[in-house]
Structure 1
Amino acid sequence: MNNNKLTEKRKLTFELYEIKIKNADDSDLKKISKDLSLGLSVDEMKTIKDYFKKEGRNPTDIEMQSLGQAWSEHCCYKSSKSILKEFVFGIDHPDVMSRGDAGIMRFDKKHGYALRIESHNHPSAVEPYGGAATGVGGILRDVVCMGAEPVAIVDPFCIGMVDTEKKLPAGTIHPRDLLKKAVDGGRDYCNTVKVPAISGAFFFDETYTENCLINVGALGIVKNKDLRNNFVSGPGETFILCGEPTGRDGIHGVNFASADLSTAVENKGAKHGVSPIPKRFVLAACLDANKAGLLTGMKDLGGGGLSCVVGEMALGGGCGAEVYLDKVPLRDKDLVPWEVWVSETQERMMLSVKEKNVKKVLEIFKKHGVPATVVGKSTDTRRTKIFWENEQIFDMDLKFLTGGPMYKRPFTAPKVSTKAKEKMPKLPSNNEIIMEMLSDLNISSRAWAIDQFEKKGRKTVSGPMAGKGPGDASIMTPVKDSVKGLAVTVGCNPWLVAADPYRGSMGCMDEVCRNLVAVGARPHAFTDCLNFGNPEKPDRMGELRESVRGLGEVARIIGVPIPSGNVSLYNESSNGACILPTPMVIGTGLIKDSGKAVTSDLKEKDNLIFLIGETKDEMGGSLLFRKFGGVGGRVPDVEPANLKSLIDSMLKAIGKGLVKSCHDCSDGGFAVAMAEMCIAGDIGAEVDLSEIAGKDVVKLYSESHTRWIVEVSKDDEAAFKKALGGKAACIGKTGGTKLKIDNTVNLSVKDMLKAWKAPLSKIMKG
């Protein structure tokens, strides 16, 4: 840092600067924020100035850097917190056991399960291999710091068109190369730490070309007695930092994630290192120490590094903290104090331990070959004090430091797609439409990526594929010697959300529920990652607000909580290129006996086919319109009360063994869903939709929510209809080698499989 009128170097044996903020004017404050890469506004800097004027001094550089981290969008949710409080935070459920770094839901009498989703978008746009890999590493730490053993990874990615031949903006990685590197990074990390990736999704759209979305979720299992808090239990406890030595990687990572990508190429320090092998031992040591009952709290060093974790752990326990920063093991020996404090070096955890147990904890980590060092203690104040070579360099009130601002930013109501402005595209034959849809990148097989991940861990019952085709949800049995299943799936449709953020987001929740019910699991919890643009723009803020309102409304009415989540904003470039508004929802469900789970592949000939739910004239945002040029149209609506009722009816029928196979209707509508069931089971079907109301194009391609296609034995027809209470329409039967629908569709299963299976693999292997 260069000396100027706004900074003054202290006369010490190490580098420390005083930041002259007390008498700074607005232009000075703006310059300080820019020069220190804080990412704070002038108004925020004025609040900090007022604080230090009351303290009667100027801040040190490490104090300013700490505020830059803690008050970043990524850490304090300053733009989204008020909306989340209004629509989501009040949704409760008796099975919510904790809302820490990961949500914990009750699994059975002795166990809970963890669920969490995070974003690693900006780093992945710059360096996709490391970005995706450290995304996996970070989400695993979120699970472990609750005391839970990781059991599964979920990896939904949004990428630009991998087959694009357009000239890309300078510095932009081609989507094909980005996807390959991101999959490589996620695969290498998952397979090295031996946590299977059992669910995920790819979404392709040109709006993600400059701003990819690399979202990563994780599940874990924890015995009730091992459930841990993410904070100290009181004063006088020892802070132990464990894992990799601290380096310069990841500095200003949260600031980078809280701005657009205009400076991505220059922001090399925001990149993270990748170390999956050490991570395996770090996690094992943490879990061993926790199972021995030696830890009072545990938290991962993610965004903001030490600068965030220490304050949050202390304040959460109603305490303060003293940190001996020069004791932190360093990989880069020339790091100055503020760099040590804000570094986001991966594979690190912070533990709080009662003094009597410190020696035992250090011995456990030594046995695992993992560095562990005492770096501080909790105090009976609510301030953080930092020392370097016995010199105090930091002294701040924790509530001020970690609280951060909370904004109610102005917003404008989104313009939504309507029926009144609908323009139906000129369409080819239904045979051509279905074949083109099956080969669309947003429908076609993901086997190219799925096959690279270890997904058949000892706890996995079924993965993302069903037979030869796509499944709806994956199921695992996370508790040894128990048949109780935990199902997981992803719900996301950015095109519907773009057309109508409120209804589109409700549809994401509906899709998660449909997928879980399709395998026989009762929806139990959601975790969501809200990927949006710049919240300082009223139209972007309007999209975010309406989306959260839709998510919260469905969750509240059907009685399913959202115990964890993440917000990722500023997903746009300096030239205004912005992603589609993308709420990514991961849902979990419970099934009493995983052996009775249902899959989407048709099972045998001469069974009956039923359509459950109502098909409506709702073509807005549909794959048909996107692919063939339709305009407007009403976006599919969700009736949460109807969803709740049909969930009960469907699970009743599945529980009685009346369902042979089941698949939800989503992208591409009934036609694509029926084709996928035939592909999965390698069996044809004859369908008659004459009894379904509406135009042929609507019956085939509408993406109305809360619908399933179900295969039922003729012997169970009456019982199934009774269980569904008259909401099941028998529309055909299984058999043969072709899919025939009325007199307009006649396609061989073999040809449909070929169309569905080849596109992504051909591009990525080409």
Structure 2
Amino acid sequence: MYREIYPQVYEINVINAGDEDLMKISDELGLALNLNEMRKIKDYFTKKGRNPTDIELQSIAQAWSEHCCYKSSKCYLREYLFGIEKDYVISAIKEDAGVVEFDNEYAYVVALESHNHPSAIEPYGGASTGIGGILRDVLCMGAQPIALVDPLFFGNLDIKDLPKGVKHPLYLLFGVVAGIRDYGNRVGIPTVGGMVFFDESYVTNCLVNVGCVGIVRKDRIVHSRVGNVGDLFVLVGGATGRDGIHGVTFASKELSEKSEEERGAVQLGNPIMKEPLIHACLEVVEKGLVTGMKDLGGGGLSCVISEMSYAANCGAEVYLDKVHLKEEGMAPWEIYISESQERMMLTVNPKHVDEVLDVFKKWDVPAVVVGKAIPDKVVRVYWKGYKIYELDLDFLLGAVEYCRPYVVKRIERIDETSKPSDLKGVLLKMLEHPNVACREWVIRQYDHEVRACTVLKPLQGRINRETHGDCAVIKPTDSWRGLALTTDVNPWMTKMDPFWGTASSFDEMVRNLVAVNSIPHSFADCLNFGNPEKPERMGEFVQSVRALGWMARGFGLPCVSGNVSFYNETPYSAVAPTPTLMGIGIVEDIRKVVSSNFKGKGEIVLVGETLKEFGGSLYCAVTGQRSTVVPKTSPKRLKRYVNAMLQAFKEFKVYACHDLAEGGLAVALAEMCIGGFGCKVDLSELRGEDYVKLFSESNTRWLVEVDNAEDFVKFMKSKGLSVYAIGVVEGDEIVVKNCFRVSVEEVEKVWRNGLVRFTGW
């Protein structure tokens, strides 16, 4: 079945293989291809009249992996989400990162990715190479990376009995945070935002999502494709090794007890190489020496060469023995699919190639010509003078797509919640819950001020009294214009109801952007789900994407970049549906941003309507009560409130603003007080029972500290919106009339201890 035909190159007999033999080939070579896909390969090579080489099979497996070709998701993404275009979107979806107009001269670049399976096996290396990969995604558009975000998801920290082969969530948390910290800090890019969420569904499969934003002059944007036939492929950056082999196929199947044996699929990051690589790439872009650029991520050389060529409607010749290697004796297929880090592929006009090589030599970064673009839509690979690979690009990149069957679960609306005996006690339990408690332990490990452009930081408030912020704000250019960044999802809600949970996550993303006085401008998604071959998992995905498209189209917010991560599942459980969203807002004047902490100067106004909606709520989690009524929203209603809020920021003196999310009004008040001053509140004007007023997590709501509540309320009501003047900012206590009173000191102590009691410092 295997015959050596050239040095270290084997012919694989698929033409004469039956179904059983085809699956044996897939298993033995680690292809992770199903029988239908192996039959497609057999048919293709039967028509060619020859058998494939091992390097050809390995390359097809990379290209056909879920991670690379989105074979189970693009059908539904096209139906529900793609095509939401705005005039200011320069490039979206088809590139490595979205490119969006920032002002007349500059564009911002945004990407959001997952690095889940590697982080579950080796948390430090998996997370650090996730950061390295997302930096390259932004860099390959010609942009200078300026900020990172890190939405993270782990099992409950107090778990005691772990399934066999599973690492403790606390160990994973320590490793992942350290990996992000060390890579980001060493390469000099600030980590300014993110989230940390804990749920039992992540015990056997943590999720590590990372995002990056960059800035680029519009006349210096580079695309992820070949520029012209005849261009040379120049491989730059780190050496190629055996680390990261089968990384994308490893990420395209469920984890199991044996996954630990696949550590070789986890790449090895090197931020010390990445920093000069960034400088060198930006220099050749600034000098106009490159026609295309793409990073070597999933699939390595195999995917980068074929994808850049396919996007330009041409082909390529590759000279594999020119590649700089980490070790001797690597087989051609290993070189071609290795996912070793810190590598970029440039396409360069032959007349500029010497100048490009000189730039990289100056920065002490390896660079070598490894191929050229040809007119035929085919890739040919040569090894020591032998042609060992020839595949048609239409077959390699366009042969596999599924519209998998799905089942949508029926959700019975149940609400069995009632008023607790101790409202204050419930609030304190909420504040110490790991999903609400202070994130300072994580945030302080990251340098979120390097590059000196972080205007609004992740922790906001008086010195040594900082509290949660809704967004970070970055100043990317010399103007007063800024970018607001947030990441959001509520997995408790999406687990209960994928549609309304996703819609609620979109609503929260927009609320956070508005809270700092930014205009929602675009977003990226990272869609983390279980095994798509199971109809109930596929149903969760379809419902989530449908909700995302409905909200985005109705609100008018374009999705400019995205990622789908399937197979986040083990024999024990699947992760909660986790459609992580990264929102980007435009701040017209960074001198007018609004932070979340009370300033002790004004009155408190509640914007929005509070309903009895407790499905997936923190209230149910801490009281043990039951509700399946996930908060609903509407893109048109959200748009009306957003427009009014942004206008109000211009009309009135707004000292502080905070959106209502986990824990509702009570937690939002506490967080605003922790960073500033106490308050006195009267909720009698609101409808419903006290516990609903305090703890409901209804969407489209903000708390605002304003100079004149009466005028603010009149203004909002003139727009037909629900708004209530509920109190004043003063003192050092939180006093809610007829409900409870508690000192800010007690609230802060509980909140700051919520995560530290597990981490130890």
Asked if TM exceeds 0.5, the reply is yes
Shift in Å, 1:655? 2.3
**How far, CA to CA, are the matches of 1:229 and 1:637 in structure 2?**
39
Aligned length: 751
- Equivalence for 2:248: 254
Shift in Å, 1:422? 2.1
Structure 1 residue 118 and structure 2 residue 113: aligned?
A: yes
- Equivalence for 1:473: 471
- Equivalence for 1:367: 362
What TM-score results when the alignment is normalised by the length of structure 1?
Answer: 0.97
| Structure 1 runs not aligned, ≥5 long | 1-5
**How far, CA to CA, are the matches of 1:277 and 1:654 in structure 2?**
44
User: Which residue of 493, 497, 500 corresponds with 1:496?
Assistant: 493
Equivalent residue letter for 1:119: S
Shift in Å, 1:403? 1.9
Structure 1 residue 599 and structure 2 residue 627: aligned?
A: no
**How far, CA to CA, are the matches of 1:693 and 1:31 in structure 2?**
65
**How far, CA to CA, are the matches of 1:638 and 1:187 in structure 2?**
36
- Equivalence for 1:71: 64
Secondary structure at the residue paired with 1:116? Answer: strand
Structure 1 residue 449 and structure 2 residue 448: aligned?
A: no
Residue deviations 1:326-371, cap 9 Å, x none? 1101001111000000000000000000000000000000000000
Shift in Å, 1:416? 2.5
Partners of 2:532 and 2:567 within 8 A in 1: yes
Structure 1 residue 555 and structure 2 residue 552: aligned?
A: yes
Residue deviations 1:353-408, cap 9 Å, x none? 00000000000000000000000000000000000011000000011101241111
- Equivalence for 2:581: 585
What TM-score results when the alignment is normalised by the length of structure 2?
Answer: 0.97
Structure 1 residue 23 and structure 2 residue 16: aligned?
A: yes
Residue deviations 1:247-272, cap 9 Å, x none? 00000000000001113111122011
- Equivalence for 2:237: 243
Give me the CA root mean square deviation. Answer: 1.2
- Equivalence for 1:90: 83
Shift in Å, 1:641? 0.4
Secondary structure at the residue paired with 1:51? Answer: helix
Which stretch of structure 1 is more off in the superposition, 343-352 or 653-662?
653-662
**How far, CA to CA, are the matches of 1:612 and 1:389 in structure 2?**
70
**How far, CA to CA, are the matches of 2:639 and 2:458 in structure 1?**
25
**How far, CA to CA, are the matches of 2:710 and 2:111 in structure 1?**
40
Partners of 1:320 and 1:380 within 8 A in 2: yes
Shift in Å, 1:302? 0.2
Counterpart mapping for 1:268-287 below 5 A:
268-287=263-282
**How far, CA to CA, are the matches of 1:233 and 1:136 in structure 2?**
28
Residue deviations 1:602-633, cap 9 Å, x none? 0115x211110111111111111122112233
Equivalent residue letter for 1:456: E
**How far, CA to CA, are the matches of 1:442 and 1:721 in structure 2?**
36
- Equivalence for 2:735: 740
User: Which residue of 309, 325, 337 corresponds with 1:314?
Assistant: 309
**How far, CA to CA, are the matches of 2:562 and 2:541 in structure 1?**
14
Partners of 1:447 and 1:761 within 8 A in 2: no
Shift in Å, 1:543? 0.3
Which stretch of structure 1 is more off in the superposition, 633-642 or 220-229?
633-642
User: Which residue of 508, 533, 536 corresponds with 1:536?
Assistant: 533
Counterpart mapping for 1:327-476 below 5 A:
327-416=322-411, 418=413, 421-424=414-417, 427-457=420-450, 458-467=452-461, 468-476=466-474
**How far, CA to CA, are the matches of 1:364 and 1:657 in structure 2?**
53
- Equivalence for 1:763: 758
Partners of 1:308 and 1:402 within 8 A in 2: no
Secondary structure at the residue paired with 1:399? Answer: helix
Residue deviations 1:457-506, cap 9 Å, x none? 31110111111210000001101x21101000011100101111001001
Shift in Å, 1:658? 2.5
Partners of 1:426 and 1:628 within 8 A in 2: no
Shift in Å, 1:742? 2.1
**How far, CA to CA, are the matches of 2:643 and 2:416 in structure 1?**
37
Equivalent residue letter for 1:174: H
**How far, CA to CA, are the matches of 2:268 and 2:412 in structure 1?**
44
Structure 1 residue 619 and structure 2 residue 618: aligned?
A: no
**How far, CA to CA, are the matches of 1:66 and 1:662 in structure 2?**
52
Distance 1:446 1:73, change over 3 A: same
**How far, CA to CA, are the matches of 2:364 and 2:756 in structure 1?**
41
Counterpart mapping for 1:44-193 below 5 A:
44-99=37-92, 100-164=95-159, 166-193=160-187
Shift in Å, 1:717? 3.4
Partners of 1:596 and 1:657 within 8 A in 2: no
**How far, CA to CA, are the matches of 2:250 and 2:692 in structure 1?**
45
Secondary structure at the residue paired with 2:559? Answer: coil
Secondary structure at the residue paired with 1:660? Answer: strand
**How far, CA to CA, are the matches of 1:454 and 1:395 in structure 2?**
47
- Equivalence for 1:3: none
**How far, CA to CA, are the matches of 1:108 and 1:274 in structure 2?**
34
Equivalent residue letter for 1:83: Y
**How far, CA to CA, are the matches of 1:404 and 1:53 in structure 2?**
16
Equivalent residue letter for 1:487: A
- Equivalence for 1:299: 294
Equivalent residue letter for 1:604: G
Counterpart mapping for 1:624-639 below 5 A:
624-639=619-634
After TM superposition, the runs of 4+ consecutive aligned structure 1 residues lying more than 6 A away are none
Shift in Å, 1:761? 2.1
Partners of 1:234 and 1:318 within 8 A in 2: no
Which stretch of structure 1 is more off in the superposition, 731-740 or 507-516?
731-740
Which stretch of structure 1 is more off in the superposition, 523-532 or 631-640?
631-640
User: Which residue of 496, 508, 511 corresponds with 1:511?
Assistant: 508
**How far, CA to CA, are the matches of 1:52 and 1:440 in structure 2?**
58
Secondary structure at the residue paired with 2:3? Answer: strand
Shift in Å, 1:639? 1.1
**How far, CA to CA, are the matches of 2:115 and 2:227 in structure 1?**
31
- Equivalence for 2:725: 730
Partners of 1:122 and 1:211 within 8 A in 2: yes
**How far, CA to CA, are the matches of 2:341 and 2:421 in structure 1?**
52
Structure 1 residue 645 and structure 2 residue 640: aligned?
A: yes
Equivalent residue letter for 1:213: L
Secondary structure at the residue paired with 1:567? Answer: strand
Equivalent residue letter for 1:73: E
Shift in Å, 1:415? 3.0
Shift in Å, 1:652? 0.6
- Equivalence for 2:196: 202
Shift in Å, 1:576? 3.7
**How far, CA to CA, are the matches of 1:356 and 1:761 in structure 2?**
59
Equivalent residue letter for 2:192: I
**How far, CA to CA, are the matches of 2:11 and 2:196 in structure 1?**
48
**How far, CA to CA, are the matches of 1:91 and 1:229 in structure 2?**
21
**How far, CA to CA, are the matches of 2:412 and 2:211 in structure 1?**
31
**How far, CA to CA, are the matches of 2:637 and 2:716 in structure 1?**
15
Equivalent residue letter for 2:367: A
- Equivalence for 1:750: 745
Residue deviations 1:201-227, cap 9 Å, x none? 100112111100000000000000110
**How far, CA to CA, are the matches of 2:194 and 2:405 in structure 1?**
34
Partners of 1:116 and 1:527 within 8 A in 2: yes
- Equivalence for 1:569: 566
Shift in Å, 1:309? 0.3
Secondary structure at the residue paired with 1:261? Answer: coil
> Percent identity over the alignment?
48
Which stretch of structure 1 is more off in the superposition, 106-115 or 407-416?
407-416
Secondary structure at the residue paired with 2:438? Answer: coil
